[in-house]
């Protein structure tokens, strides 16, 4: 098994999404001790956004696109994704949605004629499906009876990853990290129980 672990938090070791996504990886490696883990940390903003050369290739199937810059980065990230049997994404929720670093990664891997093709009915994914585990940390609560904010993150990820063929998504979250230590402890415990239940099946 090949595991791709994408860490999107700028908070490093202090990140709740990093902690939760590492817990997911631990469960996966218990099931497959020989699994190969590839970890890509992008929370520091080191992944550049797409450039004009890349945008030209997205715009036109016949454009002459140089294999450099964002195109070269895209090739590497897509190959990394294709090799993975399981994908784990640890991400914070920023302003009710995804952080810009995760959007930059998505812009590189959601690529016309490479990971999706256009049809009269819309985009059709070209990647084989595989499990994608998404660990989310949010300062407020966006699901359940105590939710007090909308969620534009999970519907977007379902739609955009589905457009390239990744439809087996599993979401876990630590919510209310801005509500004090007791709330964080409660959210961690709930997330760990949800993980244990999922991986017991």
Q: How far apart are the C-alpha atoms of 114 and 127, rounded to whole Å?
A: 9
Overall number of domains in the chain: 1
CATH of the domain at 20: 3.40.50.360
- Interval 44-53: pLDDT, tens: 999 999 998 8
SS3 122: strand
Range of the domain at 92: 2-200
- Interval 95-134: pLDDT, tens: 999 999 999 999 999 999 999 999 998 899 999 999 999 9
Enter the pTM of the model.
0.95
Closest CA to 18 of 1, 41, 38, 47: 41
* Token pair listed for 137: 């940390």
57: confidence class by pLDDT, cuts 50, 70, 90: confident
């Amino acid at each position: 098994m090949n595991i791709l672990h994408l860490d999107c938090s700028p908070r490093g070791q202090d990140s709740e999404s990093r902690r939760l996504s590492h817990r997911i990886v631990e469960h996966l490696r218990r099931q497959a001790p020989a699994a190969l883990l590839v970890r890509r940390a992008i929370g520091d903003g080191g992944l550049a956004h797409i450039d004009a050369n890349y945008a030209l290739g997205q715009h036109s199937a016949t454009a002459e696109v140089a294999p450099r810059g964002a195109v070269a980065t895209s090739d590497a990230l897509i190959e990394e994704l294709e090799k993975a049997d399981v994908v784990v994404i640890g991400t914070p929720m920023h302003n009710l949605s995804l952080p810009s670093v995760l959007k930059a990664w998505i812009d590189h891997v959601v690529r016309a004629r490479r990971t999706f093709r256009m049809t009269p009915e819309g985009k059709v994914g070209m990647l084989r499906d595989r499990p994608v585990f998404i660990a989310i940390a949010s300062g407020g609560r966006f699901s359940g009876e105590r939710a007090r904010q909308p969620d534009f993150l999970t519907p977007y990820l379902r739609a955009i990853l589905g457009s390239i063929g990744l439809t087996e998504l599993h979401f876990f979250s630590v919510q209310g990290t801005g509500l004090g230590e007791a709330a964080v402890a409660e959210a961690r415990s709930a997330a760990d129980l949800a993980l244990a239940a999922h991986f017991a099946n």
